[in-house]
Amino acid sequence: MTARPLIGISTYAEPEVSWGAWRLDAALLPAGYPRLVQRAGGLAAMLPPDAPEHAAATVARLDGLVIAGGPDVEPVHYGAEPDPRTGPPDRARDAWELALIKAALAQGVPLLGICRGMQLLNVALGGTLTQHIDGHATAPGTFTHHSIKPVPGTLYAAASPAQMSVPTHHHQSVDRLGKDLSPSAHAEDGTVEAIELPPPAWTLGIQWHPEMSNDLSIMRSLVDSIRGLP
């Protein structure tokens, strides 16, 4: 493949967003996500919430898929009652992104879940979430950093073998792993920070935010997998 691979990124859909003289409903995405894709050699395409029945056709036109960070997953999707600390649901986004994930898995399209995206990947495969943990987020709208350690022999470790400090902002985490998923990185407190499917799939979920750092290793691994590179 000589052309840049087309990588779709799921987005927010927010009411009354302001820019310049305008205040309108908007599909939006922090610029770090498309920049990460572009810097790793991909072509970024935004995928705002749509009807779930369009997910399979959408994924069929992509070379790779990124499920971006965002609000808490509604606990109904993993058979739980909402904790008082769980945020309000975004049902349209939950339905769309779960459909995208299932389509990517069915079609063998490389898939990266970031933060909420990792949690949705786990839920899509029948896993559950812990609805609140401490120490992985500070004030709203800010990122903290902590160390993560790869599990040797995993897809993630092949892309990024060294222990490193990562930018993070989440208050939920993976509890019971979904079908065929295995942990591929942990925080120092034992929190699962990355999950993946076994080969030949390129399916990885990470709990931190690489779009807020200069680390291209994971996105380059995704792009290389599309190009058939080791």
Catalytically active residues, by annotation: 115, 209, 211
Q: Would you list the DSSP string of 79-113?
A: T-PPPTTSPPP-HHHHHHHHHHHHHHHHHT--EEE
Give yes or no for a contact between 132 and 83, defined as CB atoms under 8 angstroms apart: yes
DSSP 5: P
Rounded Cα–Cα distance for residues 119 and 114 (Å) = 8
For residue 101, the one-letter residue type is I
- What residues have CB less than 8 Å from 223, skipping those under 6 apart? 5, 7, 40, 41, 42, 64
Angle ∠(179,104,180) on CA atoms, nearest 5:
15
